[in-house]
Each structure stands twice: as C-alpha cells, then as structure tokens.
Amino acid sequence: MAVHAYRRPRAAGGFGVLIMVATLLAAPAEARKYPGFAPKRPLVQKATFPSPRPRASAGVTRSGRAPGVSRYCAAALRGDRNAQFELGYIYAVGRGVRRDDALAAAWFRKAAAQGVVQARNWLALLRVKSKAHAVCRDDSSPHFGPVRSSAANPARGPIVKLVRSLAPQYHLDPNLVLAVVAAESNFDPSARSDKNAQGLMQLIPATAERFDVKDAWDPEQNLRGGMAYLRWLLQRFDGDVWLALAGYNAGEQAVERYKGIPPYPETRDYVDRIAGWLNR
C-alpha cells in the first residue's frame, strides 16, 4: 500500500466552507471517523436512466462535452428525487454552469420533499429564497434569450402565447421553439414549402403522421407535432441542441451518417441562424 505524506489543507473561505460542511453532513457516520476522509461530494444514490437503444450516433455531440444538466433534466421533471438532488448540486457549486443558489434551492426543495436528507442539509446551508419554479438552465448549451420582435421575426401575438403555453409540456425552452418557428415559417400558419412541408413548424406529411398530427394547418396541432419531434431529437442526440436542430432540418439519418452537423450549406446556415438568435 502506498503511503502518502499528509498535507494540511488550506483554509477554505466563504462558500468553500459551506461546501465542506454540507459534504460532511451528507456523508455517513463511519466516513467521518477517519482523518483525511473527505468525499468530494455528498454521497447519494445516483439517478438511474434507461440506456438508449444502440445506434450509430450514440454519444455524438458537436462539442464533445459530457452530458450534464441535460442528463438529469428529463428525469428530474418526471419527479426522480435523485436527479432533482443532482441538479441542485450542479447549480449550488457551479459544476459546468453558472452558480445559482436560488435555482439550486428550488431543486433541493423538491428533492427534500421526497425525503432526500442531503437536500435538506443543503437548504439549511444555502439559506436563500428558492425560485418559484425549478427549471433546467444549461449554460453549456446556447443561452435561450428572448427571440426579439422585428419585421422579419414577428415574435409576438397569439402564436407566441400558444408556444409559451405548450413548450413546457414537452420540456422545451419556449424561446428555442420560437426560434425554430421563425426559421421554418416566419410565423405563417399557411406556409408551404416546395417539398410540401406545411404550417408553422413545416411538417412534411410523413412527420405529421409519425407524431399523430391530423391537421398540419391547425396551428396548435402543428406546434405540438413539431415540438414532439424536437423533443425526440434532443433525446436521440443526448440533449445536444445543435445536433437536434440539424436533425430537424436535414433528418436524423443525415446527422448519424456524418456523426455531426451535415455539410449541407442549407443545414449549416439554418443552425447558425438559430444560434445567432438564441445567443444575441
């Protein structure tokens, strides 16, 4: 067994002290018996997720980053207490995202309500008012800022209200959906392409049938079909927004064939245009 010289840890100040205390509170009693034992994070059973069915594109991401917030978001929104705790921890320590104590508290509060003791410990340490809603904010993906109104992008009116009311049902950021609608149809419910893509989110008949859209010219049905497809693409490509957008434009088979955004000028322009709207 290798013997390592003990080094006295440097004093941690401010929030570092809170993290150390929370870690010790969360650790089991036997772990605190031994000097030098300092787990890096609270010990909690990890959330379990069903493995995606094998496919050629498994693990493909544009940036190569490991899944973070996107990995836990869907399970947390479904009520998985371990995933809720994981998100709270991610936002509390700023692991891959901007630190947000109020958002962390919102997720810890959900986990604590389901009996996660570590979440209660963190709430006691943070001592902040939690946000009213626990949401998934992923700083490693584009920041979903508002899609601004302009002559070319009329992000206002009843269609926008409908998008904002429907998007949460599909665990989608409304501003991402608004950007897709702007790129696809410029908010025209009667838009039709030369490939017979129809309506607000330009569903071709095969996609409309696939997602149970009976009338692609009906704004709500069209939006629901497009959002269902976008959510399906995000799950298929492990939460990577750029690959999901590329798949929406060129089809998921093209993304899998090229193991990334296809080299089609139309698709690359489509992804870059939406990225510009989301990031401005």
266 has catalytic annotation: no
In sequence order, the 6+-apart residues with CB closer than 8 A to the CB of 271 are 242, 245, 246, 249, 261
228 and 234 in contact (C-beta within 8 Å)? no
Catalytic residue among 86, 184, 252, 256: 184
Residues 86-125: b if buried by 16+ CB within 10 A, e if exposed: bbbbbbbbeeebeebbebbbbbbbbbbeeebebbbbbbeb
Cα 254 from Cα 248, distance rounded (Å) = 10
245 and 255 in contact (C-beta within 8 Å)? no
97 and 139 in contact (C-beta within 8 Å)? yes
Residues assigned a catalytic role: 184
